[in-house]
Amino acid sequence: MIVYNPISGRFQKEKLVDRVGKRLNELGWEAEVFASKNPQHITSLAEKASEEEYTAFFVAGGDGSIGLAAKGLIHSKTALGVLPAGTSNVWSREFDLAGLTWQHLNALEIAAEKQISGHVQAVDVGMLNGQAFMLWAGVGLDAEVVRQMESNRDDVRQFSILKYAQTVLKNIQSWEGIDLEIKIDDQKIEGRYIFAVVSNIRKYAGGLSEISPAACLDDGLMDLWLFDGNSPADSFRSLVLLLSNRHKNSKNVKRLPFSSLDIVSDSPLYF
């Protein structure tokens, strides 16, 4: 089953995804193509593929679509395939799958061919309040930035990188961190943080940073990264450390591998 998200990325994907289906048919697969009606529809189609024991479920979209598909495939025998047609495609870049661009309009076909000739590998999936994620989950500054961007989805599609940078700079001038109580496996931690990020993969911030170089997708663990701070100056410092990949050696940043995590705050938390 091939499902595409009509609103992710910058391309009208219907014809491009149909080409993938035809190519898979030529290679001996029976391929069906569906357009998702809403985010929940991606998950329900993945559940259908799992229940009916499809060999593979390909999702054409961005990193958000991948998480929605994963939720419907957890613990199933149906493999998740990715056709990188979103804005950043960070998950696909972890596996050297080139994203869809005007210069590479056949990127989805190439990605599909690479994956059907590969092998199936079980990987870790994060669950946050019932929502699956394959890449990261975060609270604090980055979550607030994404929340504001999501409120104007069409604008994000057209000016993703510029809009992201503008939103970060606007928020960083007043962000003073959030108080968090954290229970991580058998430890308890309290503090004020600019942001906290759980990472399952190496790359972050649209692929601009390598937040977790030692990340392993099938070790049963994820990394919690805590960026200390309580002022706009600390917010700016955290951003510089992250984008320059110097956060790993900073006394103001902690890395804590874990398998189970609870985060509590007195103030509302976006994630």
For 128-165, write each residue's pLDDT tens digit. Answer: 998 899 999 999 999 999 888 877 765 445 446 778 78
| CATH code: domain of residue 78 | 3.40.50.10330
C-alpha 92/C-alpha 197 separation (Å) is 20
Q: How many CA atoms lie within 13 A of 237 on its CB side?
A: 16
- What's the domain count of the chain? 2
- What is the span of the domain harbouring residue 36? 2-122
> Closest Cα to residue 141, out of 172, 173, 179?
172
Answer with the one of 96, 122, 148 that is the final residue of a domain: 122
Distances in Å between the Cα of 36 and the Cα atoms of 44, 56, 168 are 10, 17, 30
pLDDT one-digit tens code per residue, 226-260: 999 999 999 999 999 999 999 999 999 999 999 99
DSSP, residue by residue, 184-198: ETTEEEEEEEEEEEE
Instruction: Report the alpha-carbon angle 229-241-97, nearest 5.
Output: 125
- The answer to whether 267 and 244 have CB atoms below 8 angstroms apart is no
**What pLDDT is recorded for position 3?**
97
> Closest Cα to residue 84, out of 112, 123, 103?
112
Beta pairing partners, 138: 197
pLDDT one-digit tens code per residue, 183-228: 999 899 999 999 999 999 999 988 889 999 999 999 999 999 999 9
Asked if residue 6 is part of any domain, the answer here is yes
Q: What is the mean pLDDT of residues 79-92?
A: 92
Residue 189 and residue 111 in one domain: no
**What pLDDT is recorded for position 233?**
97
For residue 9, pLDDT beyond 70: no
Residue 58 and residue 140 in one domain: no
